[in-house]
């Protein structure tokens, strides 16, 4: 088809066609996916050494094993034919290299899920948790729904302690009270749930007035003038 005929029939120029061909080039398409951080649904079509393969725009994309999940994957074969979401993280047409990742999307989903859980948490709530780790400044407690919080050493007991290890062990199940939520961090207290020990009140008996008089009379009786 001549250029003149294309102009008449389709109002297209050679420059328009060149732009169209550039747009149709799959490498240019995946480069735009990289720039825009486009979320792409893909199917794992193969497992290779160190990762997995998924097709994007007809190109063979490699997903490193470390980019498939937020945690270590024991069996990569379990991902075969699995549908996941990825983003393009590296494109090199000269090297015929297209690298994909699911990790960033999974981290963002985890962050949003955590924020939602924390937003539903109320100061004053009493919860059961497990001591996850002990530090010099306090104890980290694993709570429900994957949340965790810190019991500062000053909030562990009403009694003064030198170290959290004096009263706690990793794995201990404890009752805690939420006393603060700030910047996504949860402050907890065990001390707030302890019963306050009342100090024994000393009972003082005051003698009656007549008893005082009698005692004084007895005293003067024995004094000789």
Pairwise pLDDT comparison (153 vs 14), residue with the higher score: 153
- DSSP for 69-94 reads -SS--S-GGGGTT-EEEEEEEEEETT
Question: Which residues are CB-neighbours of 39 under 8 A, at least 6 positions away?
Answer: 85, 86, 87, 105
**Residue 4, pLDDT score:** 46
Rounded CA-CA distance 147/45 in Å is 35
**Residue 99, pLDDT score:** 97
- From the CB of residue 131, how many other CB atoms can be counted at a distance below 10 Å? 18
- From the CB of residue 103, how many other CB atoms can be counted at a distance below 10 Å? 17
> Do residues 180 and 216 touch, judged by C-beta distance below 8 A?
no
Q: Is pLDDT of 28 > 80?
A: yes
pLDDT tens column, 150-175: 999 999 999 889 999 999 999 999 99
Q: Identify the band that residue 138 occupies on the pLDDT scale cut at 50, 70 and 90.
A: very high
Rounded CA-CA distance 54/62 in Å is 7
Q: Identify the band that residue 220 occupies on the pLDDT scale cut at 50, 70 and 90.
A: low
pLDDT tens column, 86-122: 999 999 999 999 999 999 999 999 999 988 999 889 9
Mean pLDDT of the chain: 84
Please report where in the chains the tokens 């005293």 appear, as a residue.
219
Rounded CA-CA distance 164/176 in Å is 15
Rounded CA-CA distance 141/170 in Å is 9
> Do residues 147 and 176 touch, judged by C-beta distance below 8 A?
no
pTM over 0.75: no
């Amino acid at each position: 088809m001549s250029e003149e005929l294309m102009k008449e029939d389709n109002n297209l120029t050679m420059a328009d066609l060149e732009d169209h061909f550039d747009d149709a080039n799959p490498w240019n398409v995946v480069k735009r996916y990289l720039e825009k951080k486009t979320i792409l649904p893909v199917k794992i079509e193969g497992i290779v050494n160190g990762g997995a393969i998924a097709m994007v725009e007809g190109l063979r994309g490699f997903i490193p094993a470390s980019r498939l999940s937020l945690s270590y994957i024991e069996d990569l074969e379990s991902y075969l034919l699995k549908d996941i979401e990825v983003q393009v993280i590296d494109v090199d047409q000269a090297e015929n290299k297209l690298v994909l990742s699911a990790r960033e999307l999974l981290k963002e989903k985890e962050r949003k899920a955590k924020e939602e859980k924390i937003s539903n948490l109320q100061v004053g709530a009493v919860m059961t948790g497990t001591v996850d780790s002990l530090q010099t400044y306090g104890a980290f407690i694993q709570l429900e729904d994957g949340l965790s919080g810190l019991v500062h050493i000053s909030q562990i007991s009403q009694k003064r302690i030198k170290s959290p290890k004096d009263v706690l062990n990793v794995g201990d199940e404890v009752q805690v009270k939420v006393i603060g939520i700030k910047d996504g961090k949860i402050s907890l207290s065990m001390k707030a749930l302890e019963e306050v020990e009342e100090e024994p009140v000393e009972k003082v008996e005051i003698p009656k007035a007549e008893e005082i008089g009698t005692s004084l009379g007895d005293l003067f009786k024995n004094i000789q003038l």
